Amino acid sequence: MSGPLIVQSDKTLLLEVDHEQFVECRNAIAPFAELERSPEHIHTYRMTDLGLWNAGAAGYDAEQVVDTLITYSRFPVPHSLLVEVADTMSRYGRLQLHHHPAHGLVLSSGEPAILDEVLHSKKVQPMVGERIDRETVRVHPSERGRLKQILVALGWPAEDLAGYVDGEAHEIALAQGEWSLRDYQKQAVDGFLAGGSGVVVLPCGSGKTIVGAAAMADLSATTLILVTNTVAARQWKAELLRRTSLTDEEIGEYSGARKEIRPVTIATYQVLTTRRQGEYQHLDLFDARDWGLIIYDEVHLLPAPVFRFTADIQARRRLGLTATLVREDGREGDVFGLIGPKRYDAPWREIEAQGWIAPAECTEVRVALTDSERTVYAVAEFEDKYRLAAHAPAKTRIVRRLLAEHEGEQTLIIGQYLDQLEELAESLAAPLVTGKTPVRERERLFEAFRTGEITTLVVSKVANFSVDLPEATVAIQVSGTFGSRQEEAQRLGRILRPKADGRTAHFYTIVTRETVDAEFAAKRQRFLAEQGYAYSIVAGDDLLYGDPTA
């Protein structure tokens, strides 16, 4: 049988969904190609420079990529494309940053013409000093990070071999007990330590915190951990107390509520980006101790001010943890340049097959606007259309039907608009957690959900990330952040913790058909389709009243 892949000269890959080699091929191209569109029969992937460089940094070479394309392609692969792939991947590492015994930090290349090319850039010139020889130029140490950013933009990503300071030592050991690092967690830690800095990509629920703890134990150094919010900070602390030799006195919380600086300090992005009279008051936390390791949890959400400061601390080991490298602001190149390249990436379905995350079924339930609602929608300004579509009253009836279908199961109802969530919570007599909910009350409700005292919880986007609710088996999404793929991944992740009875998790997205709601849903679902999750589509009326054709 001919292959499932059509390779086109513009770097797009068309993958036939119904082909017997679909899964095999999808897994083979995933390390270097990103899914763009995923309709029913043909999925479209694209190879980008950054994707190919990340693959190279993670251990793939051009020969493997070329061999994959040729193996699965239905037609002869355009020779020009194979040459371009090899050329793109070869660009990573032909410039190197390293320490010269006599001149300190230098940028060098065995090919002087490449060095000439980048030194011709007006953006590069202020960052470098004198030319030592044809292959080497001095670099101002303070410009190490910003230079890497610029070189990525110029298409010549440098390999950073300049090394790292060890920082202040602090003994940390993994706790002994009835657990051990899983194979993929060990591989992730080994990949990070081999590179010294970079990003580990693992699905929600697969133990990214444990990867961070193991890296800390290997380095045994003071560690600054940056997280999304105070709830996440306290969950990190609880996990470190459980998994390592660290004591309560050794772990500090640096948040809106507390300002503790200890050998291991967990800080929130929110407090670091708080400004007073235009000044960032807390960015000096990066210099508060001689940190040996900085961990960026949910690195795909890293705020711009933290990027700026990260450019100044390139001598510190940096570990980014995330379920997806997709950034809605398009700053994946800055993650690559400033945190480091991808060091490890495990396909979600592969970890699911090993039993470490729960199997999940994804369903899109389509509802319609009534004639009167459609008239209001039709004449609305564009910026109001999504709110109107997301608020379709039919969604409430579907939520009730799904709750009845999954009666007794731990269910999260997730949405974007607070007024919509407040109405749902009141209608269902269910508790509501939003950004306005005090941290102590959030923690109380999350704990009640974990113990089963509460079986239904209505949550805003504060629950998108770093909230540990392993008992959740059903998620019902009523609205989202426009077309955010990263959000879709995070929300599915809320229900992927393996269940004690091995049951399948269910992720429902309720979408208003023939509106921008449906368009945004299609965009959000792209990332999960890339991970191997297929959405079945159900008409809301069929769910409510039964399928008349059944």
3-state secondary structure (DSSP) of residue 190: helix
pLDDT of the residue at 550: 37
Neighbours of 73 (CB within 10 A): 18
State if pTM tops 0.95: no
Q: Which two tokens stand for residue 287?
A: 């210099």
User: Which residue from 224, 280, 278 is spatially nearest to 254, judged by alpha carbons?
Assistant: 224
Please state, in angstroms and as integers, the Cα–Cα distance from residue 49 to each residue in 11, 62, 85, 153, following that order: 10, 12, 9, 10
Predicted confidence band of residue 168 (pLDDT cuts 50, 70, 90):
very high
Predicted confidence band of residue 134 (pLDDT cuts 50, 70, 90):
very high
pLDDT of the residue at 307: 84
3-state secondary structure (DSSP) of residue 275: strand
* Average pLDDT rounded to a whole number, residues 174-193: 91
Are the beta carbons of 184 and 351 closer than 8 angstroms? yes
pLDDT of the residue at 150: 95
**Pairing between β-strand 474-477 and β-strand 505-512 as defined by DSSP bridges:** parallel
Residue 281 has pLDDT above 80, yes or no: no
Q: Which two tokens stand for residue 443?
A: 């923690």
CA 492: distance to chain centroid? Answer: 12
Are the beta carbons of 360 and 506 closer than 8 angstroms? yes
Q: Which two tokens stand for residue 504?
A: 């399948």
At 189-215, the pLDDT tens digits run 999 999 889 999 888 778 899 999 999
What is the C-alpha to C-alpha distance for residues 320 and 332, in angstroms, rounded to an integer?
12
The distance between the two most distant Cα atoms of the chain, rounded to a whole number of Å, is 81
User: 463 CB contacts (<8 Å, ≥6 apart)?
Assistant: 412, 414, 433, 469, 494
Neighbours of 512 (CB within 10 A): 26
* Average pLDDT rounded to a whole number, residues 503-530: 84
At 74-127, the pLDDT tens digits run 999 999 999 999 999 999 989 999 999 999 999 999 999 999 999 999 999 999
pLDDT of the residue at 287: 84
How many CA atoms within 13 Å lie on the side-chain side of 108? 15
* Average pLDDT rounded to a whole number, residues 447-474: 81
Residue 547 has pLDDT above 60, yes or no: no
Q: Which two tokens stand for residue 401?
A: 């039907």
What is the C-alpha to C-alpha distance for residues 422 and 397, in angstroms, rounded to an integer?
15
What is the C-alpha to C-alpha distance for residues 425 and 418, in angstroms, rounded to an integer?
10
Mean pLDDT of the chain: 88
* Average pLDDT rounded to a whole number, residues 456-460: 92
Residue 36 has pLDDT above 80, yes or no: no
Please state, in angstroms and as integers, the Cα–Cα distance from residue 309 to each residue in 30, 142, 158, following that order: 32, 11, 20
Residue with tokens 């140490």: 141
Range in 34-43, 191-200, 447-456 the model is least confident about:
34-43
The domains found in the chain, sorted by start residue, are 5-91 (no CATH), 96-160 (no CATH), 183-351 (3.40.50.300), 358-545 (3.40.50.300)
Residue 549 has pLDDT above 60, yes or no: no
pLDDT of the residue at 284: 81
Residue 220 has pLDDT above 50, yes or no: yes
The beta-strand segments (E) located in 255-396 are: 264-268, 275-276, 279-280, 293-297, 317-322, 342-345, 360-367
Predicted confidence band of residue 187 (pLDDT cuts 50, 70, 90):
very high
What is the C-alpha to C-alpha distance for residues 431 and 445, in angstroms, rounded to an integer?
8
pLDDT of the residue at 530: 67
